[in-house]
């Protein structure tokens, strides 16, 4: 299930972002942390065996939802990690949390 990243869990997820994106596409750690205070920004993580295996962020602005920064830990890449979440859970999650504004 998707877990919202908070100040308490941020330091667990940032190494995943660092390993998944080139420096030119990565926000500085403190800039990324500061976004958690933005009301329209959400950072989510997915745990496997107790550790974060994937992450993504959303921006919810009025009736617009923008999803950015999909990242998957290297050992879970190319194995269809996102597909079960996307097919089975994302539609329900999206309707419940974000996309309800887009109906």
Domain ranges of the chain: 2-102
| Residue that wins the pLDDT comparison between 17 and 70 | 17
pTM of the model: 0.76
- Residue 97 has a pLDDT of 45
What is the pLDDT of the chain when averaged over all its residues? Answer: 80
Which of 16-30, 40-54, 64-78, 88-102 bottoms out in mean pLDDT, i.e. has the lowest?
88-102
In the block, residue with structure tokens 């539609």: 91
**How large is the C-alpha radius of gyration of the chain?**
14
- Quote the CA–CA distance of 77 and 45 in Å, as a whole number: 15
| 80-101 pLDDT tens trace | 666 655 554 454 445 444 444 4
Sheet with 2-4: list strands edge to edge: 2-4, 41-48, 51-61, 64-72
The CATH class given to the 2-102 domain equals alpha beta
| Residue that wins the pLDDT comparison between 45 and 97 | 45
- Quote the CA–CA distance of 98 and 55 in Å, as a whole number: 16
- Residue 78 has a pLDDT of 73
């Amino acid at each position: 299930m998707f877990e919202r990243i908070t100040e308490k869990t941020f330091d667990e997820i940032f190494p995943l972002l660092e390993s998944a994106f080139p420096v030119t596409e990565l926000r500085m750690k403190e800039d990324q942390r500061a976004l958690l205070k933005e009301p329209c920004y959400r950072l989510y993580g997915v745990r496997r065996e107790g550790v974060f295996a994937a992450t993504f962020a959303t921006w919810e602005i009025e009736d617009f939802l923008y999803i950015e920064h999909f990242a998957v830990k290297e050992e879970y890449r190319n194995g269809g990690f996102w597909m079960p979440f996307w097919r089975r859970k994302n539609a329900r999650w999206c309707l419940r949390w974000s996309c309800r504004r887009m109906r």
